[in-house]
Amino acid sequence: MKELELVKRINGQAGRCVAADFTLDGIARFGHLAFVLYGLWLWFGGRKEDRTARRTAAVTALIGVAACSLLSWGIGKLWQRPRPFARDGRIWNFTGHKANAAFPSNHTMNSAVIAAVMLQHHMPGGKWLAAGSALLGFSRIFAGIHYPSDIFGGAAIALLVEGTLLVSRPVRRLAAGIAAASVWAERLFLHRGR
């Protein structure tokens, strides 16, 4: 079955169950914010004893998102793949998404690199983030704004970046240094405030 036909079938389920529509629409539009909130919790929350490790993971994830986004931008310049709703008017783009390049799915790619980093760093909730990334990807197909290969391509880029760049010694040292410096600066600032 061609990908466009598969997207049409999945997207054709929209409008059949209000609760599913509402949920998947919300995830497609705002699901990435859960990853932002998780990052803020990593940076500011949790026990003080774990702060440097959590911030190291957060900085590593941020580097990963930046690297993935740069790769995605380059791919988008080379290959302007039309989104499913732009190719077939019967596909309902209920999110109101722009008709820019479809490949790769940036939402899936960025959420997948964050989940991969959290799993690699043994951070709490890493498995939930991985499941959330998969659900975010599916919701983007349901919304008619991505093909399955956009989702898989985004996840593959994320895993490539995590498995090569983010595990390199220079990136690990940079992330750990930024995290340690932020903890030191925070302690200094809080100590001066007393």
Across the range 131-145, mean pLDDT stands at 94
Taking CA atoms, 59 is separated from 63, 70, 188, in Å, by 6, 17, 20
Tell me which H or E stretch contains 9.
helix 3-11
Tokens 């990593």 correspond to what residue? 42
The answer on pLDDT for 193 being more than 80 is no
In whole angstroms, give the CA distance from residue 42 to residue 36: 10
Provide the residue range defining the domain that includes 45: 3-192
pLDDT at 194: 56
pLDDT at 49: 76
C-alpha closest to that of 66 among 108, 102, 119, 110: 110
pLDDT per residue over 69-87, tens digit each? Answer: 999 999 988 988 999 998 8
Q: What pTM did the predictor assign?
A: 0.89
Across the range 136-160, mean pLDDT stands at 95
Mean of pLDDT over the chain = 90
* Total tally of structural domains belonging to the chain: 1
CATH number at residue 100: 1.10.606.20
Taking CA atoms, 44 is separated from 37, 39, 50, 60, in Å, by 10, 9, 11, 16
pLDDT at 124: 92
